[in-house]
Structure 1
């Protein structure tokens, strides 16, 4: 096909929409295999939400875990994942994800720019196949000087990007290192064109096949031909309030961890245009988030003290739960008719800031001025400030303090799981149970945040988008949060979103690299 003659402005073998971990894994796989590849990012920075992340990657039995001496295997990972996820997602999809993880890590580490190491971080459920310390890997730190001008095109850390707090970027870690390393590796292939401020507005569909995309650039509209296929890995719809209310029944477009204006459902609209079947539209990678004066909310985890109370002034869950599990508890509580959005994070004066991990940490003075941090000399006084029943809050704290003394949380079992204890810093018989007894007492607003939505295209084991009859849409692939998650309604362990997104981006590119294989029906 002569792309220009057929009305295209340019052509490539593969077009990837998005620039997070899933997108760049697909792009790197294609480009390193000799396919001309165009990466389209609609914002001014590469990296998406992945650039904000800690870049944990959950891929059981891979060689980075083996180097660390971890006694893990794909079979153990399958046992754990299948127990936790169940049959909510297709067995062939789970099999492809878990079996491909070691192959993906080996493939990436063949490039000296892409190296990983084990970092302890417990899996999120007590289930067969769970291993002590978890099975997450992370990219090696990257001196920012090695990025050269790419550094200016890498999305800054979330504290800087959304809250204006400067951070040292001399050495990049986590998601900054992951995206930085992918940018360098892609550039080195000589087969990739990476573009910012280029928004896909629609797919080009000819005779039922996706043959390219229409994009808006600073210089106008362009039509790009994708001879092997288009990969949609542009995130979900977490930044769009209207879509969130429609699918979740809740606001939250400003509470998500995603960059403002980034993931507004462009991929979802394109998928619907192509007749894709979708799933998990009611789900997200949930998390508690501290509400900030600018209206944004910061992902909050690893509580070292304090309790969470609802509008009734009562605890409703183990506050040390993994963040997605706590998010689901907030949703379940909200469904009872008692407001759980926001909840109040209540702690005593032994802490000079919130006893949890938040990036950035709240500034108490600014929060007080905004009404998001309230302080009183007594619990009854604090209850009045946060509009919960005083007697209920006092009884809740009294009961919790009794648990702290005994070391046993009889209501919610806080401190009994390795994940709970991973962040614990308290004293006494249970380091997760620190009594609230030193006035004045404080309360900070916590809302329901997320790390992205989960709803997207149903796909096969190679990331091919399926229509309502289960047939692949020719030329169209999806990965990351543009695809319905293989994890279903749960978040099995740290790095599941990145791990699964990268696997299916890799598998999609491998499929596109084999035209004779791609032509066969699944």
Structure 2
């Protein structure tokens, strides 16, 4: 822990550590309210995992939903969220998240650079208050020309950044558009400074209060004092293999959807140093992921065909589940002693590529050369190639094909839920049940990826970091994946990570704005 026995090198009103959507929302709110704000980003690019995302934002009853004619209210959204999450997280925290969504969207859209629209994407659970068409809103696409000088620092899409694919970047969509719009709004305040290549090393504490940070850039350490407070929004610890093994018992640093070398738990370590309490360290925003030849793994969802089998050659879940639930099934299956990570997606030759949504799209030839895609003229031959029992795979496929004929998955109810059918394209009685019958047969390796970890600092409804006694640590806030998720062990709907991170970033900044200016006490 650093102290401030000497004058700090620099001062600001608010320091925000990180540059994803939660961080930029906090920074923009603070700066728009008149506070001198400095954003510190460890890497050379701005946007974090948010820049990779599809940018769904889950905020019940917000103005963009109402404009689209979606009949939704905060009360209905809270009913659903509470039913799904249960009492794993505090009720007042859940209420703070859900009830603030409309206010946040209204506030952000006051800036001409920020605009949202609704797109259908079902909620993930069959629970009271659910909306089958979903509550997700997305940023409107944006011309990259609007970014001007900021264009070079925007983190590229994941396909470009991690896999080297060519992609049109003239029109920004999804996470690219979200980060870009927040950057434009932040710059327009005239009170925010954004620094890249700066890594937080520790928190500065003065009289029991978080008063700034010790940071490093270009091999040199400096101190930056915060007159009002420090907002930790630097993501989780998904890029650190040691922490992954300690808390999850699984590998995964190279399989995460986060940018390599970005989220290594810096904010978590700093918060622990000053006595913060932590929670949900065994959790992540899980997802099946297609393992690529370069060792990275691409977030995979929306399976249109095929079956997932474990090392025993057996199905273990509804393959059309929302990605976090399917990821949990892989994680829980691994604990049985039967290998589920990796699993194999087995499908037939009616599909000319992976029957799922993934970015980038696999190159079958490159995958075959790497041993990640295996093909055979018969199922017994395929079973030998992927090292599963021949009789078991044959029985699994025969049983599944029978379900495809009747339209009813008697084992896992695939295709029963509206979310399942959102992606189904089959022509039989159940669009999610596509028989595996046309030779040659294929198997692609699927690992357990994530959209970031969920474990972090325990916080209150304003994003204030709590100590082990449950009391706020003065001056310290944690939002986004730096905080223990309000969603607990579940993923209620598309855009919960971004929605909750942005809400608590906004609420943290409002709390900072409401505090009296005490800089005269910090000379």
Paired with 2:171 and 2:424, the residues of 1 have a C-alpha distance of 28
TM-score, structure 2 normalization: 0.98
Contact 2:4 2:206 in 1 (8 A): no
Q: CA deviation at 1:149?
A: 1.8
Contact 2:293 2:367 in 1 (8 A): yes
Q: CA deviation at 1:518?
A: 11
Paired with 2:190 and 2:204, the residues of 1 have a C-alpha distance of 26
| Partner of residue 127, structure 1 | 127
Q: CA deviation at 1:6?
A: 4.5
SS in 2 for 1:339: coil
Q: CA deviation at 1:132?
A: 2.5
| Partner of residue 155, structure 2 | 155
Contact 1:511 1:518 in 2 (8 A): no
Paired with 1:517 and 1:94, the residues of 2 have a C-alpha distance of 30
| Partner of residue 348, structure 2 | 348
Paired with 2:461 and 2:137, the residues of 1 have a C-alpha distance of 23
Q: 1:518 to 1:375 in 2, by over 3 A?
A: farther
Contact 1:4 1:10 in 2 (8 A): no
Paired with 1:518 and 1:68, the residues of 2 have a C-alpha distance of 44
1:329-340 mapped onto 2 (5 Å cutoff): 329-340=329-340
SS in 1 for 2:210: strand
| Partner of residue 509, structure 2 | 509
Contact 2:300 2:356 in 1 (8 A): yes
Q: CA deviation at 1:222?
A: 1.1
Paired with 2:272 and 2:4, the residues of 1 have a C-alpha distance of 27
| Partner of residue 87, structure 2 | 87
Q: Does 1:297 align with 2:297?
A: yes
Structure 1, unmatched stretches of 5+, are none
Paired with 2:253 and 2:432, the residues of 1 have a C-alpha distance of 32
Q: CA deviation at 1:5?
A: 9.8
Q: CA deviation at 1:244?
A: 0.4
Paired with 1:5 and 1:391, the residues of 2 have a C-alpha distance of 72
| Partner of residue 71, structure 2 | 71
Paired with 2:42 and 2:367, the residues of 1 have a C-alpha distance of 33
Paired with 2:517 and 2:311, the residues of 1 have a C-alpha distance of 57
| Partner of residue 378, structure 1 | 378
Q: 1:225 to 1:518 in 2, by over 3 A?
A: closer
Paired with 1:259 and 1:339, the residues of 2 have a C-alpha distance of 27
1:27-66 mapped onto 2 (5 Å cutoff): 27-66=27-66
Paired with 1:55 and 1:405, the residues of 2 have a C-alpha distance of 37
Contact 1:159 1:359 in 2 (8 A): yes
Q: CA deviation at 1:331?
A: 1.1
Contact 2:4 2:204 in 1 (8 A): no
| Partner of residue 308, structure 1 | 308
| Partner of residue 452, structure 2 | 452
| Partner of residue 320, structure 1 | 320
| Partner of residue 20, structure 1 | 20
Paired with 2:41 and 2:220, the residues of 1 have a C-alpha distance of 15
Contact 1:345 1:443 in 2 (8 A): yes
Contact 2:132 2:419 in 1 (8 A): no
Paired with 2:52 and 2:157, the residues of 1 have a C-alpha distance of 5
Paired with 1:415 and 1:301, the residues of 2 have a C-alpha distance of 15
Paired with 1:228 and 1:324, the residues of 2 have a C-alpha distance of 37
| Partner of residue 99, structure 1 | 99
Runs of 4+ residues deviating >4 angstroms = 3-6, 516-519
| Cα deviations by residue, 1:355-397 (Å, 9 ceiling, x for unpaired) | 0001001100100000000001000000000000000000000
| Partner of residue 189, structure 1 | 189
Contact 2:4 2:205 in 1 (8 A): no
| Partner of residue 199, structure 2 | 199
Paired with 1:157 and 1:131, the residues of 2 have a C-alpha distance of 30
1:215-230 mapped onto 2 (5 Å cutoff): 215-218=215-218, 220-230=220-230
CA RMSD of aligned residues (A): 1.4
| Cα deviations by residue, 1:15-62 (Å, 9 ceiling, x for unpaired) | 000000100000000011110000000001000000000000000000
Paired with 1:154 and 1:166, the residues of 2 have a C-alpha distance of 16
